[in-house]
A and B are shown apart, each in its own frame.
Chain A
Amino acid sequence: MIGGRVPAIVATEARHRLRAVGNSGGQAVALAIGGLFGVVFALGVAAGAFFAGELVADGSIADPLAPLGRTVGFAVLFPAALTAIRTAQGAAGPTCPDHVLLAARHREVVAGTLGVEWLVQSTMLGVAGLVAGVAFAAGAGSPASAVLVAVAVAALLSAGVAVGLAVGLGVRLAIARSRLLARFKTAVGVAVLLAYLAVAASGDQARVFAPAANALAATPVGWIADLALLAVAPGASVLRAGGALLAASGTVLAAGGAASWLADRLWYETPVDPHGTDTDTDTGRTGSGSGMQPVPGVARQTGFVARKALLRAVRSPIRLLYVVYPLFALAGPLSNALGGGSVPGAAVPGVALYLAWAAGAAFTLNPLGDETPVLPTTLVAPITGGRFVRGLWVAASGIGVPVALAAVAVIGVAVGLPPVDLVLVVALAAGLTALAPGLALGVGAAFPRTEPARVTRSRRAVVPSLFAFALYSLPLFVLSAPAVALSVGPGRATVASLAGVPAPLLGGAGVAGRRRLRIESGDRRPGVADGRK
């Protein structure tokens, strides 16, 4: 039996989240911008709903139940996915679990969490649904439709949020019980994110998610279309509408019960130690002895700083998640290039530039901030600033240069770069990756950041400041632009043309400048795409 503490939990948690957003200038601005887009989106939805209402009313759409029924599946799936992601990331749980779980039963906390998430989703999706309902009712000339659509939206949201909460708690419980999942949860999360971005960039979301949405639409929950159109669609059934409400209610109860069962097992048990072994007496062992050894060829103190930086990066890669952010922006162009069957040669020096940037951003862009946990003792230790920053540079270039060389060489060969271009691009990769960490060091030392920031919904870490990112990235891109441009044929041809010098002076640009690299249905063969193939 759910007690009377649920409203208090909902109110307190909602107040906490509102104040957290209000206290964070960045979040408030992001929310305001999101709200602005939300208004534009709602206006678009309202306009569409209005015209749909008119079409239904004048009989232009003979059977509106069928298309709306298919939409219902997505309308459940979307809030369910959002809630599942938020819950799995730890963003949907109680803020002070120990305190709340001492004061209330876990099922009350689950109900409270469900209520808060329902409010969150209602703010984002429910308002748009209500506006659409009113607009549809106006277009159809049926005031009752506004109420029916509102009830339908509320039912869809409730079912979706409840299912999402149960799924999210299930994911968390699996991670809490499986050492393997716990160990690789970050990698799995990033892989899922990249997979989604690839789907989004391809524009195939509807096709990819259609099977799940259609399956949902085929259940009694799909009858919610009857409920929404009861006042205007001749084929809408009162029985099915009632059945949809019962099905939605049943879904909420069943998913809520499952969430409660999962929460009981999640919140009151100690999660596995991801770095431990299967024996309780041997938890947290690295398994490979000490990773802290001197680095040959560099001063002892410098070597230890480099080892420390590498060990921390390998053991806590989530701290460096920001390094892959540029890849998200590149997902679309890359997907288009691959989808079109051709990869421009200019992309290869772009890879070299990105890897150089990443090496600097990961290891040297916040030299003092990265040391935050031990900064007092490091500052008191007799190590010079020069040796310390050289250690970070050794880590950045020690891992960055080989990775950049290998990646650029492999990609260059795969896309069929001419030998001259290949040599130049590999040299570019080595040079940039060796130099970029030095630039990052200068910027990072001048503009350190020691306060932790949120890197995922449930994880905070000390990351470089936005100002440092900008001050590092812009000069790096500007200063490296000439070398990047001259490293491949098309770039050299363009530069030669602009400078009015013979292309061969810049290294074989006359031929290579017209080459475009093509990958056709798995057959990687270079071709000429300017009409001479």
Chain B
Amino acid sequence: MRSPQAIEADGLTKRYGDATAVDGVDLSIPPGTVYGFLGPNGAGKTTTIRMLATLLRPTAGTARIAGQPVTDRAAVAPHVGYLPESPPLFDELTAREQLQYHAGLQDLPGDEAADRIERLLDRFDLAADADDRIGTYSKGMQQKTALVQALLHDPDVVLLDEPTSGLDPRAARTVRDLLAELAAGETTVFLSTHILPVVDELADVVGVLSDGRLVAEGDPDALKGRAEGGGTLEDVFLDVTGDADLAAARPEEP
């Protein structure tokens, strides 16, 4: 029997009245893949991620996470970690308390939770500040704490919406290294970001969403070879999202 794909979607659609936010998206992402999810503002990326995270019910189509339908939140929950655009944290708690709370919700055993929390706090240079209230953190520290939270229960699939937003270069590098490590295992990373070099460096597969439709998908190198402007992921992005003129007008890199 074939093992299930980490993320599968078939005709995934979300409509708000007459407006279609996501229009028949098909996905088939094997375990251990880093999937770079690109698209202009308002293309429907966050709506797609929220449907995959079980937070939004699709108008049509189906989707599965680790073989579990996204309409069954209880079945999907143990398999998914989610980092939304705004760090989901309580200002009044310390980072350690926030992570302990999340570990509690995930029903992780106490010792195991404590080990993981300490390891991840160390990894992200947060250990020294872990007993400070999150309300006193910089944006980058909050983002790192939220990322640790998303990874805390070692999910099969992590859905990350702009994970490097607000991070300094060192922290962003830590995130990229960690995502690469996760993908080297069996963890699947669904990565939505505007920072194309991150996708270029990490992604095994890139999907570009435009006006709710998946207009391009494939290996980054293959996509770059097909782009009219030729050469970079930015050219691919501009090409398939309707900004080919802008791509063509871009000066040649030395």
Give residues in A with beta carbon < 8 Å to B: 273, 275-276, 283-286, 289-292, 294, 300-301, 303-305, 307-308, 311-312, 315-316, 373-384
Residue of B nearest to A299 (CB): B107
Partner of A311, one of B53, B97, B102, B150: B97
| Interface residue ranges of B78-109 to A (CB < 8 Å) | 78, 80, 82, 84, 88-94, 96-97, 100-102, 104-107
Whether the pair B133, A378 counts as a contact (CB closer than 8 A) is no
Residue of B50, B55, B78, B133 contacting most chain A CB atoms (<10 Å):
B133
Answer whether A373 and B91 are a contact pair too, CB < 8 Å, given A286-B131, A291-B97, A292-B104: yes
Whether the pair A289, B131 counts as a contact (CB closer than 8 A) is yes
- What residues on B are CB-neighbors of A285 within 8 Å? 131-132
- What residues on B are CB-neighbors of A284 within 8 Å? 129, 132-133, 135-136
Give residues in B with beta carbon < 8 Å to A: 50, 53-55, 73-74, 76-78, 80, 82, 84, 88-94, 96-97, 100-102, 104-107, 110, 129, 131-133, 135-136, 149-150
Whether the pair B73, A300 counts as a contact (CB closer than 8 A) is no
Whether the pair B90, A380 counts as a contact (CB closer than 8 A) is no
Whether the pair A308, B93 counts as a contact (CB closer than 8 A) is yes
Residue of A305, A316, A380 contacting most chain B CB atoms (<10 Å):
A380
28 residue pairs of the A-B complex, CB under 8 angstroms, read A275-B133, A275-B135, A283-B136, A286-B97, A286-B132, A290-B94, A292-B100, A294-B110, A301-B104, A301-B107, A303-B104, A304-B101, A308-B90, A308-B93, A311-B92, A311-B93, A373-B89, A373-B90, A374-B90, A375-B88, A376-B50, A376-B82, A377-B102, A377-B150, A379-B55, A380-B73, A382-B78, A382-B105
Whether the pair A383, B107 counts as a contact (CB closer than 8 A) is yes
Whether the pair A276, B102 counts as a contact (CB closer than 8 A) is no
How far does the Cβ of A135 sit from chain B's closest Cβ, in whole Å? 53
- What residues on B are CB-neighbors of A382 within 8 Å? 74, 77-78, 105-107
Residue of A nearest to B83 (CB): A377
Whether the pair A380, B93 counts as a contact (CB closer than 8 A) is no
Partner of B88, one of A307, A316, A377, A383: A377
Whether the pair B136, A276 counts as a contact (CB closer than 8 A) is yes
How far does the Cβ of B174 sit from chain A's closest Cβ, in whole Å? 21
Partner of B53, one of A290, A307, A376, A384: A376
Whether the pair A374, B88 counts as a contact (CB closer than 8 A) is yes
- What residues on A are CB-neighbors of B149 within 8 Å? 377
Whether the pair B100, A290 counts as a contact (CB closer than 8 A) is yes
- What residues on A are CB-neighbors of B132 within 8 Å? 275, 283-286
Residue of A nearest to B150 (CB): A377
Answer whether A373 and B88 are a contact pair too, CB < 8 Å, given A311-B93, A379-B55: yes
How far does the Cβ of B253 sit from chain A's closest Cβ, in whole Å? 36
Partner of A304, one of B82, B91, B100: B100
Q: 10 extra interchain contacts, Cβ-Cβ under 8 A, other than A304-B105, A380-B55, A381-B106?
A: A286-B131, A292-B101, A315-B93, A315-B133, A373-B90, A374-B89, A376-B50, A376-B84, A382-B78, A382-B107
CA of A305 to CA of B82, assembled, Å: 19
Whether the pair A307, B101 counts as a contact (CB closer than 8 A) is yes
CA of A13 to CA of B67, assembled, Å: 56
Partner of B105, one of A276, A301, A312, A376: A301
- What residues on B are CB-neighbors of A289 within 8 Å? 131
CA of A359 to CA of B132, assembled, Å: 28
Residue of A nearest to B128 (CB): A281
How far does the Cβ of B188 sit from chain A's closest Cβ, in whole Å? 15
Q: Give the total number of A-B pairs whose CB atoms are below 8 A apart.
A: 109
Whether the pair A377, B82 counts as a contact (CB closer than 8 A) is yes
How far does the Cβ of A289 sit from chain B's closest Cβ, in whole Å? 7
How far does the Cβ of B49 sit from chain A's closest Cβ, in whole Å? 10
- What residues on A are CB-neighbors of B105 within 8 Å? 301, 304-305, 378, 381-383
- What residues on B are CB-neighbors of A305 within 8 Å? 104-105
CA of A291 to CA of B133, assembled, Å: 12
- What residues on A are CB-neighbors of B136 within 8 Å? 273, 275-276, 283-284
CA of A276 to CA of B131, assembled, Å: 11
Residue of B nearest to A314 (CB): B92
Whether the pair B91, A300 counts as a contact (CB closer than 8 A) is no
How far does the Cβ of B148 sit from chain A's closest Cβ, in whole Å? 12
Residue of B nearest to A307 (CB): B101
The 7 closest A-B pairs by CB, nearest first: A304-B104, A284-B132, A284-B136, A381-B105, A382-B77, A292-B100, A374-B88
- What residues on A are CB-neighbors of B101 within 8 Å? 292, 304, 307-308
How far does the Cβ of B114 sit from chain A's closest Cβ, in whole Å? 10
Whether the pair B53, A380 counts as a contact (CB closer than 8 A) is yes
Whether the pair A290, B90 counts as a contact (CB closer than 8 A) is no
- What residues on A are CB-neighbors of B82 within 8 Å? 376-377, 380
Whether the pair B94, A286 counts as a contact (CB closer than 8 A) is yes
Answer whether A379 and B96 are a contact pair too, CB < 8 Å, given A275-B136, A285-B132, A292-B104: no
- What residues on B are CB-neighbors of A275 within 8 Å? 132-133, 135-136
- What residues on A are CB-neighbors of B84 within 8 Å? 376-377
Whether the pair B73, A379 counts as a contact (CB closer than 8 A) is yes
CA of A276 to CA of B90, assembled, Å: 18
Partner of B131, one of A290, A315, A375: A290
How far does the Cβ of B137 sit from chain A's closest Cβ, in whole Å? 8
- What residues on A are CB-neighbors of B92 within 8 Å? 311-312, 315-316
CA of A415 to CA of B36, assembled, Å: 70
Answer whether A292 and B97 are a contact pair too, CB < 8 Å, given A286-B131, A379-B73, A380-B80: yes
- What residues on B are CB-neighbors of A374 within 8 Å? 88-90
How far does the Cβ of A297 sit from chain B's closest Cβ, in whole Å? 15
- What residues on B are CB-neighbors of A304 within 8 Å? 100-101, 104-105
Whether the pair A376, B78 counts as a contact (CB closer than 8 A) is no
Residue of B nearest to A319 (CB): B92
Partner of B54, one of A311, A316, A380: A380
Residue of A nearest to B74 (CB): A382
- What residues on B are CB-neighbors of A301 within 8 Å? 104-105, 107
CA of A374 to CA of B145, assembled, Å: 13
CA of A276 to CA of B94, assembled, Å: 13
CA of A273 to CA of B134, assembled, Å: 12
CA of A533 to CA of B76, assembled, Å: 72
CA of A312 to CA of B92, assembled, Å: 6
- What residues on A are CB-neighbors of B91 within 8 Å? 316, 373
Answer whether A376 and B88 are a contact pair too, CB < 8 Å, given A292-B93, A304-B105: yes
How far does the Cβ of A58 sit from chain B's closest Cβ, in whole Å? 66
How far does the Cβ of A112 sit from chain B's closest Cβ, in whole Å? 30
- What residues on B are CB-neighbors of A276 within 8 Å? 136
How far does the Cβ of B216 sit from chain A's closest Cβ, in whole Å? 28
Residue of B nearest to A381 (CB): B105
- What residues on A are CB-neighbors of B88 within 8 Å? 373-378
- What residues on B are CB-neighbors of A380 within 8 Å? 53-55, 73, 76-77, 80, 82
